[in-house]
Amino acid sequence: MLDLGLEGRTVLVTGATGAIGSAAARAFAEQGARVALAFRHRHEIAEALAVELSGPDRGRAFAVPYALDDAASPRWVVAAVEEHWGGLDVLVAAARRRGARREPHARFEDVPEEHWRPLVADAFAPAIRTVQWAVAGMRKRGWGRIALVAPPHAPEGAPGGEFHEVARAGLRGLVRGLAGEVGGEGVLINAVCPGPTPPDRPPTTPVRPPTPPDWPPTRLDRPPTATAGPTASEGPTTPEGPTTTPQDVARALVFLCSAANGAITGETLTLAGRR
């Protein structure tokens, strides 16, 4: 049996209450990893998942707020994990906002900027910020794995598909550009691009998470805000229905972020799905 070497490793999953994020969190926990669940506004769901994954000692998972539109949030989240468990071994960045709400028959030039900007901007800046804070500790310890989840593929010509392509291209560029710099220090970084996946169904009434009484850690200025719109691992679907399941994506993430992967870095793995 292949040893993935994840027993006792510490993992941070952003977007952990989305379909892909929660599947990834469960998959890492099944391998014996400790998992921090970063969420945007689904506090009750995140806490319930933390209880599910905590294990008999109640110390193998915890939930932490994370806001894509707060520039301080990535620093705070990474530092919270490092302080809680003494380090961060694996980052899975699956958080993103819905964007490009393009009507089926709308023309490209008629899509308002406020509809596509969240998709494009939130694919770049939060991922870069979070990777910056995560990779520093990984380099010091000489081991780390980073996986970025790109927006799902859209069928060719699907409404909004061009904006998803821009977002994916940015994440591919990030992993290609960073792989050479950190690879020699034991840190591997890749991206996973799902096929069309089922859209998340956010709750109709957002739940604002209370600030936990023992957070933020003493060396931080403040916790992230978590009052903006819902995080969603949402992507387009084909007329025949979704072709890639969250579990498919989770299995790919677990391998890329495991000790069994000793050489794959700077790559974007595309999951074509079932034909």
pLDDT on residue 117:
81
- 8 Å CB contact between 231 and 17: yes
- pTM here is 0.82
Query: CA-to-CA distance for 118 and 96, rounded, in angstroms?
Result: 8
CATH topology (fold) of 10-100+119-201+242-271 = Rossmann fold (3.40.50)
Per-position pLDDT tens, the chain of length 275: 578 999 999 999 999 999 999 999 999 999 999 999 999 888 999 999 999 999 777 789 999 999 988 999 999 999 999 999 999 999 999 997 765 556 767 788 888 888 788 777 777 888 999 999 999 999 999 999 999 998 877 666 666 678 878 888 889 999 999 999 999 999 999 999 987 666 555 443 333 334 444 444 444 444 544 444 444 433 444 445 557 899 999 999 999 999 999 999 999 999 976 54
CA 201 → CA 58, 66, 114, 231, distances in Å?
29, 19, 21, 10
pLDDT on residue 30:
96
CA 58 → CA 52, 54, 55, 91, 275, distances in Å?
9, 5, 5, 21, 41
pLDDT on residue 254:
98
Residue of 83, 205, 102, 193 lying closest to 149 (CA atoms): 193
pLDDT on residue 185:
96
